[in-house]
Amino acid sequence: MLSRTRFLGSVSRIGASKRFASTKSLKETLQEVIPSKQEQLKKLKAEHAQTVVGDVKVENIIGGMRGIKAMLWEASVLDPNEGIRFHGLTIPDCQKVLPTAPGGKEIIAESMLWLLLTGQVPSEAQTRQLSRELAEKGDLPAFVEKLVDSFPATLHPMTQLGMGVAALNHDSLFQAAYEKGIKKSEYWTYMLDDCINLIARLPALAARIYRNVYKPGTPLPAINKDLDLVGNYTTMLGFGDNHNLTEYLRLYIALHGDHEGGNASAHTSHLVGSTLSDPYLSYSAALFALAGPLHGLANQEVLRWQLAMQAEIGSDVSHEQIKEYLWKTLKGGQVVPGYGHGVLRQADPRFIALQEFCDAHPELQESSIIRLVKKTYEVAPDVLKEHGKTKNPYPNVDATSGCVLYHYGLKEFKYYTVIFGVSRALGALTQLVWSRALGLPIERPKSLSMDALEMLIK
Ligand SMILES: CC(=O)SCCNC(=O)CCNC(=O)[C@H](O)C(C)(C)COP(=O)(O)OP(=O)(O)OC[C@H]1O[C@@H](n2cnc3c(N)ncnc32)[C@H](O)[C@@H]1OP(=O)(O)O
Ligand SMILES: O=C([O-])CC(=O)C(=O)O
């Protein structure tokens, strides 16, 4: 198991620029950071355009492009064994240096967003300033409220979220400016404004969907200008008085924010954005990728699977009983949800961080579903190794994320991927700003038919 202590040494490697951000606003900070990144890209193009950094095998082409280094993504890089680093910072590094909410211990969305966008650790004051800006911009336009209210409660919450986000493009500043005719060098500023407006509005949209589907007729509280984004989100969901759930959601939303660029949701937003679609349309598309059970929807599937296990074999079970249940799932031709990964080859450090949250909260240690998740983790890797198919027999973040929500009373698991969707905006939208600041082109890889591939091989 990867331990938190294993990572602590890396905090000392954080560069001075990352530790001491100035008092400038987010836009001013980006204005300062962008020229050196533009210069870095110019140099890479001039000096290394023809340098080979990998080769493409037939297995990559027919295997979901796994392993091909083919995208620029600034905010985070994923190592198969160590997991994610955000601008070089591991999760424990971030837990040490990123500002939390007043009275809270967990990283908040605003400090993670600042880090992702600028590569700098924000000060407390900058974090609060961003919280206020997001709260001030958080209300939904009336027509979007009406649209969401018109959806049948039977429409999956992720479909509702994607449609709501797409409709918000009515107010896209980038699209309006593009129509007027702005210079390429100005694209990123309008992108940034759209991205901030979208992130600000996600809690109200996502909470409205929750209320409509699961708590119809209950009043949605107004946004509190003195609360952070997730504090407001939890309050609007109706769980504002549960401090531990609020803290858990802060951590959850910060950690799920970015996972480099190749994952299906981030890649989708990058692809759509590369056509100069605005951030609302780009991120709406990303949400529909996140809604697949092999990706974000796995957190709903994990809970469904763990509850079915609990119903069949009980809560107080032996390793042997869990092993048998795992084999039953595998022999039934199904995947074990929450295990395996396209890149990771060790337990996901996000999983570890969420498990540590559970270990630090006595009410979670006593929870039968959390105990079952932990016990499953003690057995599943060996079973998956013996099964011999998956390249990574270890848990990913989804193996535990939904089960904690369930324990805290947020039991409607079809809603869980919506929370992931509120989070993934941090990283996907960050890259849209950077793609425009760096002037990246439309994405258009080459495809081949099997006949064409065979000709190439000959
Ligand atoms: C936030 C996230 O998106 S994290 C991922 C969430 N998804 C899940 O937890 C769903 C379960 N896991 C999976 O389906 C896969 O591991 C994925 C989709 C995450 C990664 O897929 P791949 O990169 O193709 O995995 P890999 O190369 O290891 O797959 C090889 C084989 O092992 C199988 N396999 C992979 N993971 C599992 C698993 N958890 N249980 C059973 N079989 C598995 C694959 O289905 C594949 O079988 P096939 O050859 O019959 O097609
Ligand atoms: O990286 C991936 O492919 C899937 C994943 O864990 C994420 O997107 O958070």
Q: What is the CA radius of gyration of the chain?
A: 22
Q: In the prediction, which pLDDT does 405 show? A: 96
Is the CB–ligand 2 distance for residue 269 below 6 Å? no
- The helix (H) or strand (E) run that includes residue 77 is strand 76-79
Q: Best of 325, 389, 401, 419 to mutate for ligand 1, by most ligand atoms within 8 A of CB?
A: 389
| Cα-based distances in Å from 317 to 358, 372, 375, 393 | 20, 8, 9, 22
Smallest-distance ligand from the CA of 392: 1
pLDDT tens across 74-112, in order?
999 999 999 999 999 999 999 999 999 999 999 999 999
Average pLDDT, the chain: 94
DSSP secondary structure letter of residue 387:
H
Query: For residue 7, what pLDDT band results from cuts at 50, 70 and 90?
Result: very low
| Cα-based distances in Å from 334 to 289, 301, 326 | 20, 11, 10
In degrees and rounded to multiples of 5, residue 215 shows phi and psi of: -135, 55
SS3 (DSSP) at 267: helix
Rounded to the nearest 10 degrees, the angle between the axes of helix 368-387 and helix 319-331 is 60
Q: In the prediction, which pLDDT does 316 show? A: 87
CA distance 175 to 190: 9
Range in 13-22, 342-351, 360-369 with the lowest mean pLDDT: 13-22
User: From the CA of 72, how far away is ligand 2's center (Å)?
Assistant: 16
- At position 431, the amino acid (one-letter code) is Q
Which residue has the least CA distance to atom 4 on ligand 2?
Answer: 263
- Please indicate whether residue 127 or residue 1 has the higher confidence score (pLDDT): 127
Active site members: 295, 341, 398
On whether the CB atoms of residues 255 and 249 are closer than 8 A, the answer is no
Residue 72: how many other CB atoms lie within 10 Å: 14
Which candidate, 212, 213, 253, 211, places its Cα nearest to that of 236? 211
Q: Please say if the pLDDT value at position 196 is more than 50.
A: yes
Q: Please say if the pLDDT value at position 4 is more than 70.
A: no
- At position 113, the amino acid (one-letter code) is L
On whether the CB atoms of residues 227 and 131 are closer than 8 A, the answer is yes
Smallest-distance ligand from the CA of 340: 1
On whether the CB atoms of residues 210 and 411 are closer than 8 A, the answer is no
Is the CB–ligand 2 distance for residue 392 below 6 Å? no
Which candidate, 129, 122, 45, places its Cα nearest to that of 86? 122
Q: What is the DSSP string of 171-222?
A: G-HHHHHHHH---GGGHHHHHHHHHHHHHHHHHHHHHHHHHHHHSTTPPPPP
pLDDT tens across 132-152, in order?
999 999 999 999 999 999 999
Q: What is the DSSP string of 289-331?
A: HHTSTTTTTHHHHHHHHHHHHHHHH-SS--HHHHHHHHHHHHH
CA distance 456 to 458: 5
Mean pLDDT across 158-170: 98
Which residues are bridge partners to 76 per DSSP? 86
Q: In the prediction, which pLDDT does 23 show? A: 82
CA distance 173 to 41: 27
Q: In the prediction, which pLDDT does 5 show? A: 32
On whether the CB atoms of residues 428 and 193 are closer than 8 A, the answer is no
- Please indicate whether residue 17 or residue 49 has the higher confidence score (pLDDT): 49
User: From the CA of 113, how far away is ligand 1's center (Å)?
Assistant: 29
Is the CB–ligand 1 distance for residue 336 below 6 Å? yes
* Domains and their CATH numbers in the chain: 133-295+417-437 (1.10.580.10), 298-407 (1.10.230.10)
Pairing relationship of beta strands 83-86 and 76-79 according to DSSP bridges: antiparallel
SS3 (DSSP) at 19: helix
Which residue has the least CA distance to atom 48 on ligand 1?
Answer: 389
**Which numbered atom of ligand 2 lies nearest the CA of 344?**
1
Which candidate, 143, 408, 45, 368, places its Cα nearest to that of 249? 408
Which candidate, 435, 443, 450, places its Cα nearest to that of 73? 435
Query: For residue 14, what pLDDT band results from cuts at 50, 70 and 90?
Result: very low
Smallest-distance ligand from the CA of 59: 1
Q: Residue with structure tokens 């509280």?
A: 221
Is the CB–ligand 2 distance for residue 396 below 6 Å? yes
CA distance 371 to 348: 18
**Which numbered atom of ligand 2 lies nearest the CA of 398?**
6
On whether the CB atoms of residues 321 and 383 are closer than 8 A, the answer is no
Q: In the prediction, which pLDDT does 17 show? A: 44
User: From the CA of 29, how far away is ligand 1's center (Å)?
Assistant: 40
Asked if this assembly's ipTM is beyond 0.90, the reply is: yes
Q: Residue with structure tokens 């295997």?
A: 63
pLDDT tens across 200-257, in order?
999 999 999 999 999 999 999 999 999 999 999 999 999 999 999 999 999 999 999 9
| Cα-based distances in Å from 30 to 19, 112, 258, 277, 447 | 16, 15, 18, 22, 36
Q: In the prediction, which pLDDT does 49 show? A: 97
Q: Please say if the pLDDT value at position 289 is more than 80.
A: yes
Residue 282: how many other CB atoms lie within 10 Å: 30
Range in 22-26, 275-279, 295-299, 413-417 with the lowest mean pLDDT: 22-26
Q: What share of the chain is helix, strand, coil (3-state, %, to 5)?
A: 60, 5, 35
Does the reported pTM lie above 0.90? yes
| Cα-based distances in Å from 153 to 149, 210, 298 | 9, 10, 21
SS3 (DSSP) at 76: strand
Residue 6: how many other CB atoms lie within 10 Å: 14
Residue 436 CB partners (closer than 8 Å, separation 6+): 187, 188, 191
Is the CB–ligand 2 distance for residue 342 below 6 Å? yes
Q: In the prediction, which pLDDT does 15 show? A: 44
